[in-house]
Chain A
Amino acid sequence: MDHHDIVRACEGDFEEFGDSFQGAGWTKAEELADRRYEVMLDVIDDQPRPTSVLDFGCGSARLLDYAIRSGRADGLVYSGLDLSSRVIEHCRAKYPDRTFHQLDVLASTAGLPVFDTILLNGVFHYKGEMAQEAMFDYFCALLRTVRPHAGRTLAFNVMSTHVEWTRDDLFHLPIQQATDFVATELSRRFVVRQDYGLYEYTVYVYL
């Protein structure tokens, strides 16, 4: 099992539920999916506009829906990226004036420009049947790969270990394992947010 299986699981959700929070793989409520988008967008609050953002693993571009709906899209030069050609087709029809990349960056990043910010929202929550170590290797490999394409900031979220119970199919990553990697390989300037009550945390990395 590898990240292609994770993408297939996401496509399954999209086919079953369509362009909704459940179709994007979130299980509980629209409001909770929105809270994640809000925390992701907080990382660019202090940046001058216009600012370019790559929504990595964009699904059906619901982060952009949220940014528009909540009045946070001014000066936001949004691009999306996904491995799934089905969701990218959907995005291109939905937002014909935005750029969407259909790309497996672990195979090649050819043609992918540099963005001020890269957001990876929900890319590392679900691991399915992947072993914890294999998922951690994937997590590191992906962040290493996208790092040169982020000019200012990177943000990603993972499941917390501070939960009532952990699930075998979710990627619960001890905070120190994440920050050791970030501080050693990406940047010593970072923020960890576990303040929004969703059994996960978001890391902002300032490059």
Chain B
Amino acid sequence: MSDTPHPPLVESCEELFLEHGDNYLGQGWTKSQANTDRRRDVMLDLMKGRTGPVTLLDFGCGTGQLLEYMRALHIDDVEYTGLDVSDLFIRVAREKFPDVQFHLGDLLAGELELPMFDYIVMNGLFTYRGPVAFDEMSAHWQRLVTAAMTHARIGVAFNVTSPYVDWERDDLFHVPMQLLADFVAASPCPYFRLRHDYELFETTVHAFREPTPARRTEPS
């Protein structure tokens, strides 16, 4: 494993799973199934406007609950692949979906031979920081998103906790808008949308390699 804040974060995710099982609580969301689904909808909006079948990598997929959600919605023009650094989660995901590809490993440690995908979503990887200091979390978030972007043909989505809240929590990753915008504007996917319209005290970023008109062409 690379020298990153993964270990304490992954450990707390696994603990929640062992405590609550394979549901939204077990994936670290605290409020409700409806909120968890809303977050997924905003992630999936990354692919809105696609004009043909596309490939999607669910980066930090946990037990593959996003795939269950997509199947329930009959989204059948998206070829799903999962990736997680947790051996436990990937074992469960492979048992649930034996016909789907799940990668196990740490992209930053060079443990993975990842192909290219049209889209990559990173849902909930950067909302919680637990005991990790803000600056360390910030460096980790930027490194991991940048690494993921090199595997995305069209775009990447990720979410962070909002700075516009009634109170900030020390264990959540509240990212100021300027830091967020400056990072993405200088990244390999510099054309972005900041979604702060879905009332869950977080910001979802949709970052694209090309500006809007170019994206209207067929995905590969």
Decide if A192 is an interface residue (CB 8 Å cutoff). yes
- Are A194 and B213 touching (Cβ within 8 A)? no
When each residue 70-104 of chain A gets 1 if its CB lies under 8 Å from chain B and 0 otherwise, what string results? 00000000000000000000000000000000000
Report the minimum CB–CB distance from B161 to chain A (whole Å).
13
Q: Does B140 contact A (CB under 8 A)?
A: no
For residue B103, CB closer than 8 A to chain A, the reply is: no
Contacts of A176 in B (CB 8 A): 176-178, 181
Beta-carbon contacts of B204-220 to A below 8 Å, as 1s and 0s? Answer: 00101011111000000
Query: In the assembly, what is the distance between CA of A204 and CA of B195, in Å?
Result: 10
Interface: B188 (CB within 8 A):
no
Instruction: Please determine whether A195 and B206 come into contact, CB atoms closer than 8 angstroms.
Output: yes
Complex Cα distance, B200 from A188, in Å, reads 10
**Which residue on chain A has the smallest CB distance to residue B212?**
A196
Interchain CA distance A204-B212 in the complex, whole Å: 17
- Taking a contact as CB atoms under 8 Å apart, the answer to whether B181 and A195 are in contact is no
> How many angstroms between the C-alpha atoms of A35 and B193 in the bound complex?
16
State whether B212 touches A197 (Cβ < 8 A): yes
Report the tally of A-B residue pairs with Cβ distances under 8 A.
70
Task: Give the distance in Å from the alpha carbon of A180 to the alpha carbon of B181 in the complex.
Answer: 13
Q: Are A179 and B177 in contact (CB under 8 A)?
A: yes
Interface assignment of A183: CB less than 8 Å from any CB of chain B: yes
Contacts of B212 in A (CB 8 A): 35, 39, 195-197
Cβ B190 vs Cβ A35 within 8 A: no
Interface size, A (range): 20 to 34
* B211 and A189 within 8 A (CB): no
Tell me if A174 is interfacial: C-beta within 8 Å of chain B: yes
Task: Assess A195 versus B177: contact at CB under 8 Å? Given A162-B185, A183-B164, A189-B197.
Answer: no
**CA A114 to CA B210, docked complex, whole Å:** 37
Other-chain contact of A188, B177, B191, B196, B206 (Cβ < 8 Å): B196
Q: A182-198: contact bitstring with B at CB < 8 Å (1 yes, 0 no)?
A: 01000011111111111
Q: How many angstroms between the C-alpha atoms of A179 and B192 in the bound complex? A: 15
B181:A192 contact, CB within 8 angstroms: yes
Compute how far the CA of A162 lies from the CA of B214 in the bound complex, rounded to whole angstroms: 20
Q: B190's contact among A162, A180, A192, A198, by CB below 8 Å, is which?
A: A162
Q: Is A204 touching B211 in the complex (CB atoms < 8 A)? A: no
Task: Give the residue name and chain of the B residue nearest to A35 (CB).
Answer: B213
- Decide if A194 touches B192 in the complex (CB within 8 Å): yes
Check: B194 CB closer than 8 A to any chain A CB. Answer: yes
Known: A183-B164, A194-B181, A204-B197. 6 other contacts (CB 8 A): A39-B212, A175-B177, A176-B176, A179-B177, A192-B193, A194-B193
A residues with a Cβ closer than 8 A to B are: 35, 39, 160, 162, 174-176, 179-180, 183, 188-198, 204, 206
Which A-B residue pairs are the 8 nearest by beta carbons? A197-B211, A176-B178, A162-B185, A192-B194, A183-B164, A176-B177, A175-B181, A195-B191
Q: Could you list 21 A-B pairs, sorted by A, with CB under 8 Å?
A: A35-B212, A160-B185, A162-B186, A175-B177, A176-B176, A176-B181, A179-B196, A180-B177, A189-B196, A190-B196, A190-B197, A191-B196, A192-B177, A192-B181, A192-B193, A192-B196, A195-B208, A197-B211, A197-B214, A198-B211, A204-B197
